[in-house]
Amino acid sequence: MQLTARVSAAVYTRWRGVRDEWRAGGRMTWPCRGHFALSSRRGCSASSRIAGWLVLALAAPAFGSSVVPSQPARHARVDLVATQGDTAFSGDLLVGIRFRIDAGWHIYWQNPGDSGAPPSVRWSLPAGLEAGPLEWPAPVRLAEPPLASYVYTGEVVLPVRIRVTGSSRQRNALTIAASVRWVVCREVCVAEQADTQLDLPIAEDSDRLLADWRAAIDSAVARIPRPWPAGWTASAALTRDGFLLAVETGRRETAGTFFPLDRGMIDDGSPQAATSLDRGVALRIRRSDQLTTLPSRLRGVFVLGPDRAYSLDATIVAPQSRGAGRPRSNNVDVDEIKGHSFASMATIDAPQSNEAVPAVRAAP
């Protein structure tokens, strides 16, 4: 009881200090590596980690809240862009939230990894229009050992489809407005916000502006994960310290990166060891030591190279016996893999059935 009280007091004290720093100027200096360093594995005291999560939890969704107010944009500029410059649309209008981020700074993907928080938006739309969910281009992996985050740098657009409902009527002019919040980081992290709007129609002499908008959106759309191609296979197996993910594309692949949708499933900071195969690639992925329940699936984005991002949902194969006397290895055995079909490949290097599976329980 006394320990709980001391931890609670430490958390509150640290959170109050962070809150006051944020209110004063928006810059939050966190006493750990990796920006917020919100991983429970390393680098932060428990009170600092929990306080950091409290700040983000309050800051991200609480539009208009006076508890932890965001600051006007200083390290990332935000505007709305569209593929169409007039109001003559009867189906979807593809709009994008464009971030232009200062050199050396970054914002976060929908799963930020070991630190940070993804952008969020609140729309203000005319009657008869409805905004779909944010679409997320594939991020890049920013490694700051022993941590790693999934981020965007430079310029990025998050596309959104604005749908016309049955009650919509044709207008001569309309305004699409958005209130956007995000966390931008370098050595420190800053919570920023911007209110922006798109007025349609745009001026008749703005062909160059519209071309710039379309190019920005097209670039983002090219990076949005595509559906898993017909004829490709993906399988995953539990290993002693994580997962073996095998992807067959029908050709030799030299690299691959897995970005998990579910936070806290993998050890984001550990390198993903790739093994090139004749018809694909295999990745060894370390499991998060925060994981208390073994998942039944690996869900996320698998990136094979520029503009080659795919939505992945692979069933995790249960541990199977490999037979007495079979050699063991913590690494993917390329020769062994080549002798198996991809359908059975996921069981390679899985714990034997009589071995203790890591101290987590299987999902029901």
Domain boundaries, the chain: 2-223, 233-362
Residue 138: the pLDDT is 98
Tell me the one-letter amino acid at 308. R
DSSP assignment of 170-202 equals: --S-EEEEEEEEEEEESSSEEEEEEEEEEEESP
Rounded average pLDDT over 249-274: 95
Q: Which CATH superfamily is domain 2-223 in?
A: Thiol:disulfide interchange protein DsbD, N-terminal domain (2.60.40.1250)
**Percent of residues, the chain, with pLDDT higher than 70:** 65
Say how far apart CA 313 and CA 145 lie, in whole Å: 28
**Regarding beta strands 293-294 and 361-362, do their DSSP bridges make them parallel or antiparallel, or are they unpaired?**
parallel
Q: What confidence tens digit (pLDDT) does each residue in 130-189 have?
A: 999 999 999 999 998 899 999 999 999 999 999 988 655 667 888 999 999 999 999 889
Q: What confidence tens digit (pLDDT) does each residue in 302-349 have?
A: 999 999 999 999 999 866 544 444 434 434 444 444 444 444 443 333
Count of C-beta atoms within a 10 Å radius of residue 84: 17
pLDDT at 228 over 90: yes
pLDDT at 282 over 80: yes
**Lookup result for tokens 């609140």:** 122
> Is there a contact between 316 and 260 (Cβ–Cβ < 8 Å)?
no
Phi then psi dihedrals of residue 118, to 5 deg: -75, 160
DSSP 8-state symbol, 289: T
Q: What are the residues facing 81 on neighbouring strands?
A: 96
Say how far apart CA 320 and CA 66 lie, in whole Å: 54
pLDDT bin (cut points 50, 70, 90) of residue 27 is very low
DSSP 8-state symbol, 226: B
DSSP 8-state symbol, 361: E
